Amino acid sequence: MNLRDTISGIVLALAWARTVQADPIPLLKPEPIAPAGAILARQTITPGGAPCGEHGPTNRRCWKNNWNVSTDYEGVIPTGTTRTFDLYITNVSSYAGADGVAKPVMLINGAFPGPAIQCDWGDWLELRVHNQLRDNGTGIHWHGMHQLNSNNQDGANGVTECPIAPGSSRSYTFRAVNYGSSWFHSHFSTQYGNGIVGSVIVHGPASANYDVDLGPYIITDWYHETADRLQLRAETGGPPVANNIVFNGTNINPKGSGGRYNRVKLTRGKKYRLRIINTSVDVGFTVSLVGHNFTVIATDLVPVEPIVKSQLFLGVGQRYDVIIDANQPVANYWFNATLGGGGRCGTTDNPFPASIFEYEGAPSNANPTNRGTPITADCRDSTGFAPVVKRVAPRDQFAAQFKELPVDLTQVLTTRGTVFHWLVNGSAIDVEWDKPILQYIAEKNTSWPRAANVVSMPRRNVWTFWVINNLRAGLPHPIHLHGHDLLLLGTGESGTFDGTRDIDLLNFNNPVRRDVAMLPGGWMVLAFETKNPGAWLMHCHIGWHVSQGLSVQFLELPDEIPNVMKLDQVQPTCEAWRRYWPTAAYPKLDSGLRR
């Protein structure tokens, strides 16, 4: 399969929980090595306090020694080891494993979803990515990983690196300074939608007890055409309809024979941790398990105080770690992913996307008979979460510091006809694959193109406040920031934010934190502190939208960047890319970004 890019000019060791997976995602076996010559991501210090006990089913808040769920992971982290993984990205011309319909895909280590990378909090990861695609560059972004002082490992083509050329490889090396459930994916145009995705599990403490860790539960939209062809249509006619929603890579085909339900085994009386991850290109959905509640213990990579929810909305890129109490009668139960909002969060041909949770002793491979009570599904973040490690944004600095980032949609006449461009602050991002922003920094060159959408933040320890006004009401956007957790201070369902009228609607005292937040049809106010040098993308996580330009990059503490990371590590990948690019089979036609 050949990826064609679209639109022009755009935006274990110790104390591991037992992992049991239904229809399991392949787990890579790490190869421990010494962390030779790596720049430390953060000084490792021992936190105060006495050892809290052994991590286990009755003591999940504890980790090891005196680290626990209340330890500030932005201040201190445990000493870890180094774990090495190899990821091989290849073309597969005919893959029918998702729902029985064959299509060309791009896979990591021959599987969809790709492997689950596992490590402990504080470990170093060395991830060797080998591009064996025929006609495409690639690159891997490690979604949600803070990459403190390691922005050159973030994997954003045209921002932190050049793409990895066909036949080439590169290693990403960084430390797992935050813990929980996340994922990785290609950031090269719309390529990720062709199957280049996997999960990252960083084992650490938790805010509530459970018996069994079920591992990652990846839910995604699925299309029977390639992402590049779909993007060509999306740029002129709006988003395509997903043919299916699949659970850990499988589902029945709603319009024919083939495929199968994903099934998860439970034992009555046990409590299970499930790591729900939305890796869709376009679709957001609300998940529920008939007859059961979810006890939420993490939003994205942020541990939260336990809170019970009957359903949870996940926008593209979002994750929830939940505990399921298998306390119901022995039977089989539907796990539903319900689309709502009148199509504003995507559409699918499957009227009832679902998997099956089977109690031990229930009829084997039988479908549940109870669809459950219809839920209320909309395109808005679930609320009420309180992070365990508290953060307070200074309200008294808001009026002087906040800046607006209006989001709008326009149409541009090109050689391919009239296409859609998404604008942030009046500009659609368009990155240079062969000259990422980090190369400008290495050259002490500040003359980057206007279309790079660079926002400079030169001062350390400054709270920045961002008001995002959605000028296209009715079209929500999952907004993702690299390298940080966002403090979600507040949202408005309509209109634009007024700094005087609406300030009392904001929560500055330990608000929800996450790395993807849903921008509704009105406005959203976000905050983060400048303390992580690098070029960090903030973008809509809908694949079609970021390809069409909906992105900015925050250039944070640029003067510190050369001192905390090795910028010469960018050069070998860029040199290989520049040799390949003049003979590439397909030109760059979109923003160059995917996710």
- Of 211, 240, 265, which residue constitutes the final position of a domain? 211
Contact assessment for residue 117 and residue 200, using Cβ atoms and an 8 Å cutoff: yes
Whether 448 and 473 map to the same domain: the answer is: yes
DSSP 501-522: TSGGG---BS--EESEEEE-SS
174 located within any domain: yes
Q: Is the dihedral of CA 583, 586, 590, 593 positive or negative?
A: negative
Whether 237 and 157 map to the same domain: the answer is: no
Q: Which two tokens stand for residue 526?
A: 């976000």
Query: Up-side HSE of residue 473: CA atoms within 13 Å toward CB?
Result: 6
DSSP 517-538: EEE-SSEEEEEEES-S-EEEEE
Total domains, the chain: 3
Averaged in consecutive runs of 10 residues, what is the pLDDT profile of the chain (595 residues)? 30 29 43 28 39 89 92 90 97 97 97 97 98 96 98 96 97 98 93 96 98 98 95 86 98 91 98 99 97 98 98 98 99 96 91 97 93 82 96 95 84 60 80 92 93 93 94 86 98 93 97 97 96 96 86 95 93 94 70 45
What is d(CA 85, CA 83) in angstroms, rounded to the nearest whole number?
Answer: 7
Whether 187 and 244 map to the same domain: the answer is: no
Residue-level pLDDT at 45? 34
Residue-level pLDDT at 411? 58
Whether 42 and 171 map to the same domain: the answer is: yes
170 located within any domain: yes
Q: Please report, for the domain that includes residue 455, its CATH number.
A: 2.60.40.420
User: Number of helices and strands (H, E) in the chain?
Assistant: 6, 32
26 located within any domain: no
Residue-level pLDDT at 426? 80
389 located within any domain: no
Q: How many CB atoms lie within 10 A of CB 174?
A: 25
Whether 41 and 158 map to the same domain: the answer is: yes
115 located within any domain: yes
What is d(CA 49, CA 143) in angstroms, rounded to the nearest whole number?
Answer: 32
β-pair partners for 518: 478
Residue-level pLDDT at 235? 83
373 located within any domain: no
Residue 389 to residues 210, 510, 531, Cα–Cα distance (Å): 21, 9, 17
Q: Which two tokens stand for residue 14?
A: 């110790």
What is d(CA 495, CA 521) in angstroms, rounded to the nearest whole number?
Answer: 8
Whether 80 and 218 map to the same domain: the answer is: no
DSSP 258-323: -B---EEEE-TT-EEEEEEEE--SS--EEEEETTB-EEEEEETTEEEEEEEES-EEE-TT-EEEEE
What is d(CA 208, CA 79) in angstroms, rounded to the nearest whole number?
Answer: 24
Whether 409 and 325 map to the same domain: the answer is: no
What is d(CA 491, CA 474) in angstroms, rounded to the nearest whole number?
Answer: 14
Q: Which of 202, 82, 189, 260 is nearest to 592 (CA)?
A: 189
Residue type, 534: G
Contact assessment for residue 124 and residue 155, using Cβ atoms and an 8 Å cutoff: no
Whether 156 and 61 map to the same domain: the answer is: yes
- Of 211, 235, 265, which residue constitutes the final position of a domain? 211
Residue-level pLDDT at 3? 33
- Cis preceding linkage at 113, omega within 30: yes
Residue-level pLDDT at 519? 94
3-state per-residue secondary structure call for 346-370: CCECCCCCEEEEEECCCCCCCCCCC
How many residues make up the chain in this entry? 595
Whether 218 and 148 map to the same domain: the answer is: no
499 located within any domain: yes
Whether 162 and 179 map to the same domain: the answer is: yes
Q: Which of 481, 490, 484 is nearest to 509 (CA)?
A: 490
Residue-level pLDDT at 19? 35
80 located within any domain: yes
What is d(CA 477, CA 408) in angstroms, rounded to the nearest whole number?
Answer: 11
The number of angstroms, rounded, from the C-alpha of 361 to the middle of its chain's C-alpha atoms is 36
Contact assessment for residue 209 and residue 76, using Cβ atoms and an 8 Å cutoff: no
What is d(CA 591, CA 231) in angstroms, rounded to the nearest whole number?
Answer: 12
Whether 192 and 267 map to the same domain: the answer is: no
Residue-level pLDDT at 413? 53
- Of 153, 186, 211, which residue constitutes the final position of a domain? 211
What is d(CA 151, CA 165) in angstroms, rounded to the nearest whole number?
Answer: 20
Whether 249 and 115 map to the same domain: the answer is: no
Q: Which domain holds residue 111?
A: 31-211
Which residues are CB-contacts of 504 (< 8 A; sequence separation ≥ 6)? none
Q: Which of 116, 43, 46, 51 is nearest to 85 (CA)?
A: 116
